[in-house]
Structure 1
Amino acid sequence: MAFALAAFYVLSVGAAYRAGLSQNAVEIGRLLADLEDQREVGRKTSVQLAALEQKLERERAAAASPPPVTAEDLPPPIRPLALLVQRKLAAGVEPARIAQAIDPLARERSCAPGTETRRLLLATPISRDSGAARFAAGPFEITGKGVSVRDAQGRAEAWFDPAQPVELALRGPGGAADSVAGVLPLEHGVVLDGKEYLFRAEASRRRGFVELYLQVCDYP
């Protein structure tokens, strides 16, 4: 009897021990899984921190060295002036000369009284015939061309279409040439021998013609 009780006791202790070991193995497995999860979270956090640090460095570099201002970043009234200055600089004009030309400009122009007017016939691909306008107040000859207007059937006519861009060519002393293009009305200025010649072109009521106006002002 005593032997049976002792055997039962040993078996009970062994079962409890094995149960404890099994429970401990489960607990260790859970702890290892939790540890691996924490390590994965740590790796992801490290990657995110590295990405944030890189972004911060890029933003610091951008703040320290802002991108250059382009003509498109400027307000509309200033944009064409900036483009003109860029073209002059690209052509080799010294910045000091550009500044010297701009600085003396006054708010108000001093202009001769009256405006000289001429009427000009524009050439088209159909007519290929153009007149020439000459002004007494200035040594310029102006010619021009435009796009043919179309009738109801879509056929091109000899007259230019005032709703389409036109091109005016100005020839000055010594054959010096200048031009302006766009949809009417157009304005253009030419500086010559201390005078500024201001031209304006508008569509005429007379078919195929433009009205030209010239005003002469002191420069600068």
Structure 2
Amino acid sequence: MTLSSYNPRDRYRDRAVKRFNKTIVLLILLGGSAAMGFMIGRENAVSQIESLKKDIETKETQMEELQNELTSVRADAQTATSRFELLRSQYEKDLPQAGPTREIFEMVRKQIEDGMAPERLAFVIRSARPPQNCSDPSSKRFVVRTPAYNGPSSIVSVGEGAVNVSGTGESAHGRGGQVEAWFDPTQKVTVTFKTADGKEETRNGVLPFQHSLIAAGREYRFNFAEGEKSFVKVTFDSCDYP
């Protein structure tokens, strides 16, 4: 009888060795793949970081340039504001916005626009002089006629008849809304000036106001203000002209 040399244990051991070897190979492949993936990922990350750094540096450079431009613009704006304020103060100093100087400037401008020669206008201004031989101020009053006033005419004569002054206005209203005979001092009144040679001019406005005119070789200056009920008080004087 012949005995076989086959040993089952060897067969199981060979199978175990093969499985172990396969496992080792698989682990090596997995490890290599992981290592390769890590290296590739690391290179990509490094590349992205470098790209981000460049972007940040570019943005910082642009931000610095914008900051410099903004600083320059602010400086230019401050300079322009300072120049504007200086020019405005000089303008207001040389040309007041209100008052007699402004009124005179506007009159001169209008005369030139209307065709008066600047040389002629300059001659007239240089020929002007302070008032001389003026009379003492005097005061009179007159009734302002209204639509509801039925009384006699009221006229003030000035300079021995050189100028006659009268006025009209709007009727006042009582508490109940009824129309009164006297004038409303809060509304405009119209004052009429008539000279001895027949010339006539008017002045319209809310009291008080002033007016002047030339008559009989003299300049008459008037100041009108509210007087007692129905009346306007006029204060006047006259000076040689020219």
TM-score over 0.5 for the alignment?
yes
Q: Which amino acid aligns with 1:156?
A: V
**Amino acid in the other structure paired with 2:165:** I
| Number of aligned residues | 213
Choose the corresponding residue for 2:176, options 144, 149, 153.
153
How do 1:23-38 residues align onto structure 2 when only pairs under 5 Å count?
23-38=45-60
| TM-score computed with the length of structure 1 as normaliser | 0.67
Once the two structures are TM-superposed, the CA of residue 57 in structure 1 deviates from its matched residue by 9.7
Amino acid at match of 1:181: N
The residue number in structure 1 matching 2:149 is 127
1:79 aligns to what? 102
Distance 1:126 1:69, change over 3 A: farther
Q: Secondary structure at the match of 2:221?
A: strand
Name structure 2 gaps, 5 residues minimum.
1-24
Give the 3-state SS of the residue equivalent to 1:141 in structure 2.
strand
- Could you tell me whether the CA contact under 8 Å between 1:195 and 1:219 is conserved in 2? yes
In the TM superposition, what is the alpha-carbon distance from 1:138 to its structure 2 partner?
A: 4.9
Q: Secondary structure at the match of 1:78?
A: helix
Distance 1:138 1:42 in 2: 85
Gaps of at least 5 residues in structure 1 are: none
Displacement, 1:196?
0.8
Aligned pair partner of 2:116 in 84, 89, 93? 93
Give per-residue Cα distances to partners, 1:63-92, cap 9 Å, x unaligned: 9x9799589843534333333334434443
Q: State which structure, 1 or 2, has the greater radius of gyration over its C-alpha atoms.
A: 2
- Give the Cα–Cα distance (whole angstroms) in 2 for the partners of residues 56 and 153 of structure 1: 61
Q: Measure the CA separation in 2 of the matches of 1:78 and 1:163.
A: 28
Q: Point out the structure with the larger helix share.
A: 2
Show CA shifts across 1:116-160 (max 9, x none). Answer: x55422122333875333334353232211122221212221111
Task: Provide closer, same or farther for how the CA distance between residues 138 and 91 of structure 1 changes in structure 2, counting only shifts above 3 A.
Answer: farther
Quote the sequence identity (%).
20
TM-score (norm 2): 0.62
